[in-house]
Chain A
Amino acid sequence: MTAREPGELECGSRHCITCGDDGVPMTVLKVDHARELALCAEQSGARSTVELALVAPVARGDRLLVHAGTAIAALTEAGT
C-alpha cells in the first residue's frame, strides 16, 4: 500500500484521503516514462505513485491534480 503521513489519514484534514473522490494537488518528483507512472508528493510531503496516462507528458516539478491515484489534470498558472 502507498505510504502516507499519519497526520494525513483523517477526514476533516484539508483532504480526506480515505475518500477516493477527493482531488489532491501533488508535485511530480520522479517519472517512470515506460510505465506512465510517477512518484508524487503532497504539500505535506506524503508520497505516492500516480498514474500519468491522462496527463502525459509530465516532467519533474510539474503540479498535478490527483484523484484516486490518477492525475486527471495538470495545474498550470494559465487561467488562475
Chain B
Amino acid sequence: MRFVDEYRDPDLGRALAGEILSLVEPGRHYKLMEVCGGHTHSIYKYGVDDLLPGNVELVHGPGCPVCVIPMGRVDDGIALAHEPGVIFTCFGDMMRVPGSDGSLLDAKARGADIRMVYSPLDALRIAKQNPDREVVFFAIGFETTAPSTALTLKRARAERVENFSCMCSHVTIVPPLRALLESPDLRLDGFIGPGHVSTVVGARPFEFIPADYGKPVVIAGFEPLDILQAVAMILAQLSQDRCEVENQYKRVVPYEGNLRALEVMAEVFELRPHFEWRGLGFISHSGLRLSEAYADLDAERRFGVPGVRVADPKACQCGEVLKGVIKPWECKVFGTACTPERPIGTCMVSSEGACAAYYNFGRFAREREVV
C-alpha cells in the first residue's frame, strides 16, 4: 500500500537502527518525548523501542485527546446527556472515560440517549434526522480535530440546523508543552513533534522549543520508519550541537500548516482563559470554546453545565504518566485494578493512551525480559 509499506521496510529499519547507534554518545542517557499519542501507539505496536540503544529512552507525552480530559468534564457531559430530550453524541473512546459517577457508557445503560459518532458530521446528520430533539456533540481533540468541529458548526449555521449544539473541549498542543518544559520534574533532550497536529498548525508554533529551551524538535509521521528516522534526526542535531525544528513528515506536513483550517478555527473558536488538563492541572490559554459569533451553538450556554471540579482517583497516576515522570507499568494499579476493559484512568481508555498501548503491546516484551 502506497505511503505505508515503504515505511515498514525491515532492511531500512535495521539501517536506521544502525545509524542511531552510531549517533549516540556512550555514557550519555537520552530522553526524547514523543508528544503525540499516535506515536506512542505506533512505538509499542511495532516495537520501535526494541530497536533503540538502551541509553535512548522514549518518554510519552500529553498528546492523547481522550487522556487529558479531566473527570469533571466527563461529569458535565453526563449532566448534559441527562437533559430532557437531548441526544448526546461523542467519539467512541470518550464513552468509556470514567467520571466521578461512572462513564457515558454507564449513563447510556441507565437510559440516557448517548450515541457514538465517527465525526461531527455524523452528529449533525443525527440532528437533521431528529428535528424534535436537541443534539449535542461532545467535541474533543487537538488542532487535528478542531477544524472538523468548526466546519460542522459553520455547516449547521448555513443549513439552519437549530437543534444542534456543541460542548467544546478542544485543546491546543503548545501550552502543555511549555508547561512540561517549565516542569522541574522532567529533563528532556528533544521532542518527536506531532505529525497530524502539525498538518494543521504547521511547524512554526514549535520554534519556541529550540529558541527558548534549547531542545531539538523533529515533526514525524506515524509509521515505524518515520519514528526511527525522527530519533536519528534528533540525535544528529544533538551530536552536531544543532538545535532547530525539522520536518521528517514533509509528505504530509507543510511548514506553514493548513491556512484554511487555521482561518476557520479562528472564526469559530476562541481561547479559554484556563482549561483543566488531567494530571497537568489548569493551563492558561490551552482550551478552546465557541466564539461569541457562535455562542448560540454552544451547548454549555444553551443548557448550562455543573462545571464542578473533580479530583482524580488517588490510586490513578495518569498525571505522572502524561508528564512522562513515570512509565505506565510503574503505576500502582497498572494491569491489575486498571485495564482497558475496566479503566480507572484515561490513559488506559484510548488506544493512543500510553497505558493502553503498553498494556496491549509492550507488556509482552517486558514479561519476556523478566523471565
- Judged by a CB distance under 8 angstroms, whether A54 is at the interface is yes
A75 to chain B, nearest CB (A): 6
> Bound complex: CA of A67 vs CA of B197, how far in Å?
10
> Bound complex: CA of A20 vs CA of B90, how far in Å?
9
- Judged by a CB distance under 8 angstroms, whether A39 is at the interface is no
- Judged by a CB distance under 8 angstroms, whether A16 is at the interface is yes
Chain B, interface size category, equals 35 or more
When the two chains form their complex, are residues A72 and B144 in contact, meaning their CB atoms are under 8 A apart? yes
A41 to chain B, nearest CB (A): 13
B328 to chain A, nearest CB (A): 16
When the two chains form their complex, are residues B118 and A67 in contact, meaning their CB atoms are under 8 A apart? no
> Bound complex: CA of A22 vs CA of B142, how far in Å?
11
Q: Which residues of A contact B251 (CB under 8 A)?
A: 75-76, 78-80
> Bound complex: CA of A67 vs CA of B116, how far in Å?
16
Task: List A22-80 residues whose CB lies under 8 Å from chain B.
Answer: 22-23, 25, 43, 48-49, 51, 53-55, 63, 65, 67-70, 72-73, 75-76, 78-80
Partner of B92, one of A19, A69, A79: A19
Asked, given contacts A72-B200, A76-B251, whether A20 binds B118 with beta carbons under 8 Å apart, the answer is: yes
A7 to chain B, nearest CB (A): 15
Task: List B108-133 residues whose CB lies under 8 Å from chain A.
Answer: 115-122, 125-126
Interface centre among A2, A22, A53, A78 (most CB of B within 10 A): A22
When the two chains form their complex, are residues A75 and B3 in contact, meaning their CB atoms are under 8 A apart? yes
What would 12 more interface pairs be, CB under 8 Å, given A12-B360, A21-B144, A51-B151? A1-B117, A1-B122, A1-B125, A16-B93, A18-B116, A63-B2, A67-B145, A68-B118, A68-B145, A69-B122, A72-B200, A72-B261
Query: Could you show 20 A-B contacts with beta carbons less than 8 Å apart?
Result: A11-B350, A11-B360, A16-B93, A16-B350, A16-B351, A18-B92, A20-B91, A20-B148, A21-B38, A22-B38, A25-B4, A51-B148, A54-B264, A65-B252, A68-B118, A68-B148, A68-B149, A69-B119, A72-B144, A80-B251
Chain B residues in contact with chain A, CB under 8 A? 1-4, 6, 37-38, 41, 45, 64-66, 91-93, 115-122, 125-126, 140-142, 144-145, 147-149, 151-152, 155, 195-196, 199-200, 222, 250-254, 258, 260-261, 264, 340, 350-352, 356, 360
Chain A residues in contact with chain B, CB under 8 A? 1-2, 4, 11-12, 16-23, 25, 43, 48-49, 51, 53-55, 63, 65, 67-70, 72-73, 75-76, 78-80
